[in-house]
Amino acid sequence: MRRNEQGQTKRSNGARANSAKSPTFERMLGTRDSSRFKSPNEVKVMGRFLSTILLGASGAAVLLLASGPLTAAVESKAAGETSTKTCAGDNGGITLPQGFCATVFADHIGHARHMVVAPNGVVYVNTWSGTYYGNDTPPPGGFLVGLQDINGDGQADVMARFGDTTEQGNHGGTGIGIYKDWLYAETNDRIVRYALPKDGIVPQGAPETVVSGLPLTGDHPMHPLAIDKNGNLFIDVASATNSCQSQNRMPNVPGDKPCTELETRAGIWRYDANKTGQKFSPAERYATGIRNADGITIDRSGLGLWAAQQGRDELYENWPKIYNEDQGANLPAEELLQVKQGDDFGWPECYFDNGQKKLVLAPEYGGDGGKTAGVCAEKKEPVAFFPAHWAPNDLMLYNGGQFPTSYQGGAFIAFHGSWNRAPLPQAGYNVVFQPLSDGKPSGKYVIFADGFAGGHLDPGEAAHRPSGVAAGPDGSLYIADDQHGRIWQVTFHGEKTVGVEPAPAPAKSAQAPASGNTAQAQPPEGVHPDAGADVTGSLPAPPGQTAEQVKLGEQIFHGLDGGTCAGCHGANAKGTPLAPDLTAGKWRWGDGSIPSIAATITKGVPTPKDYRSGMPPMGGAQLDPTQVLALADYVWSLNHANGG
């Protein structure tokens, strides 16, 4: 079987407000934290008329500006605050190697995806919305965000939102970049560009459409982008399916031959960043066989294209006669690719076996669990690889001057974190550094930043999920989170000659399950906030069923006997971007009775109504009727816990 942004709740500086004198702001700027901002009596924004002031409970002033075709929301920090270049005591909740420190540069800005930093230090962020985030309500204003730190304290003093709004039919996007004097961004099915402002941080002219008609269907509708120094605009157009089956993610369904999806998906396309009005078509495909390159970037030469690929899912769930649970959780690898025109990296016929360190034939195309390579011997292999299902979400090659020389040319990769390693513990939720030299690994990767999840390695419960990485002109590193919209700025304050070191392991959350066995830091059923507690003891048993049945169902939900439910529905069953809340009493495929729930579990959901991917029968697990009944009892009990 198979997240919601919280409101801003921060410390307030309102008690320090000087009611006798309010500052006047002469430029368009914004904030990372509404609590640092006092409400000005007068704000001038590039000579534009201030149309609305919304005062938040914390005393922040949010300005909604009518700026021709653009809509911007701006927040401003009180004048007079001094700059103190110090690190937060807890690095904003994350751990870093010695000599590095982090500040919370901005917070609660929406579902922050990728970032780019302008030469003047303004950080531009693309944010997203929609079914991937449970259709929650985005912040008011546009989906593009500008952030600027005026006083150098590692925290943005100003935040400005701009671009089309939800009311204008926009849903935001992922990709963003700068080329010459233009800011490029993905919005819906288009890549648009704005002329960078000469003053302030918000573009003043209307956006121009560079490319339109990008595919939005299927599992992977996002479009990361990168632009080389010659103006080649590279766009990732990821696969619509997991493995090119006619019935996506269903057990024992072979792959399509030929995989016609490859004509318009699962590759990188190239366009001209200097031209407008271009249309997406198969003709501009640059490289193929790339399932989902959520992070693409250009190397220090200004011409070399690199990508981080998310490997396929559900080897065990869809092919249980060939793979076991451990193989399903630990295969295939995530990949770092060096991409050249005409390259074919093998999807959907191939996946990279991290144990054998080679591409092998996928089961949908006659594969036998990794014994046969077949056509995969002719495909291009990755430069480096990483553990399965960590989900690389962005990639940056470091060429800044602030970090130690050992980081020069290496790759920072934001790993969003897994959802599908059940019944084993979920993993990832970190930022990794891979040393590189002359296009090859020069050392083993290390976890550079950790602790984002806050003790809950679970897509629904994690405090933060890394989604973007970018470097500033000063060489600092920015990390974005799309769970609750936080941006960190990472700086270095040590000797430039030190080597690459991993971050310390994060302290265990007080809410995380404890274990006296250091060899098994997680409970056997996987990461679950209530592990060890008799949660089912307070749940009602369905009529005619027993508490023992409900308990068995709870155990299967969290991984017993190969159960995979928590991986998609979340450890608390309250839903994730992949699958609905099972506790809300909303029955999509039946009437909520035990037979109806059991039938849905048994048959699966090939074509869900509101989610991207289907649920295979029994979630891909091999359950007998007694286990299905117990699981149905547990789901029923979750919906009647309060007498419902």
CATH of the domain at 630: 1.10.760.10
* Of 117-131, 369-383, 476-490, 598-612, minimum mean pLDDT range: 598-612
**Burial level of 395, CB count in 10 A (0-12/13-18/19+)?**
buried
Question: Which residue type is seen at 618?
Answer: M
Instruction: Say how many C-beta atoms besides its own lie within 10 A of residue 97's C-beta.
Output: 20
Task: Give the pLDDT score at 579.
Answer: 82
The CATH number of residue 105's host domain is 2.120.10.30
User: pLDDT tens for residues 238-284?
Assistant: 999 999 999 999 999 999 999 999 999 999 999 999 999 999 999 99
Residues 266 and 334 in one domain: yes
- 507/346: higher pLDDT: 346
Whether residue 581 is contained in a domain is answered as: yes
Tell me what pLDDT residue 87 has.
63
- Does residue 634 sit in the same domain as residue 572? yes
Residues 572, 465 share a domain: no
pLDDT band of residue 551 (cuts 50, 70, 90) is: confident
List the 430-434 sheet strands across, edge first: 392-397, 411-415, 430-434, 446-449
Identify whether residues 463 and 556 lie together within a single domain: no
The domain boundary, picked from 464, 492, 520, lies at 492
Domain co-membership, 415 together with 561: no
- With a cut of 50, say whether residue 36 has pLDDT above it: no
Alpha helices in 341-427 (DSSP H): none
In a domain, 342, yes or no: yes
- Percentage of residues of the chain with pLDDT beyond 90: 63
pLDDT of residue 317: 93
Q: Is residue 131 part of a domain?
A: no
The answer to whether position 628 is within a domain reads: yes
- Residue range 521-548: mean pLDDT, rounded: 53
Q: CA 83, 89, 90 angle in degrees (round to 5)?
A: 125
Q: How many structural domains does the chain have?
A: 2
Domain match, 459 and 338 both? yes
Domain boundary among 492, 519, 551: 492
Of 457, 475, 492, which residue sits at a domain end? 492
Residues 559 and 442 both lie in one domain = no
| Burial of residue 17, with CB atoms counted within 10 A of its CB: 0-12 exposed, 13-18 middle, 19 or more buried | middle
In this structure, is residue 318 part of a structural domain? yes
Domain, as residue range, for 545: 535-638
Over range 149-155, report the average pLDDT.
94
Summarize pLDDT for 521-534 with one digit per residue, the tens.
222 222 223 322 34
Write the pLDDT tens digit of every residue in 320-350: 999 999 999 999 999 999 999 999 999 999 9
**Mean pLDDT (whole number) for 426-439:** 97
Q: Is residue 525 part of a domain?
A: no
CA pair distance 340, 439, nearest whole angstrom: 13
Mean pLDDT of 190-212: 96
Sign of CA dihedral 127, 130, 132, 135: positive
Clarify whether residues 251 and 353 are in a common domain: yes
Residues 478 and 608 in one domain: no
**Cα separation, 140 vs 271, whole angstroms:** 32
Q: What is the pLDDT of residue 86?
A: 52
pLDDT band of residue 557 (cuts 50, 70, 90) is confident
Same domain, 552 and 479: no
Q: Are residues 317 and 447 in the same domain?
A: yes
102: how many CB neighbours lie within 10 A of its CB? Answer: 24
Instruction: State the average pLDDT for the chain.
Output: 83
Residues 6+ apart with CB under 8 A from 44: 24, 25, 26
Verify that 310 and 401 share a domain, yes or no.
Answer: yes
* Residues 159-194 pLDDT 10s: 999 999 999 999 999 999 999 999 999 999 999 999
Dihedral angle of Cα 453, 414, 290, 250, to the nearest 10 degrees: 0
Q: Which two tokens stand for residue 179?
A: 């080329």
- At 53-110, the pLDDT tens digits run 222 322 333 333 333 334 455 555 443 343 334 566 789 999 999 999 999 999 999 9
Here the tokens at position 331 are 């295969």
- Does a structural domain hold residue 44? no
Residue 25 lies in a domain: no
The average pLDDT across 541-547 equals 88
What is the reported pLDDT for 524? 25
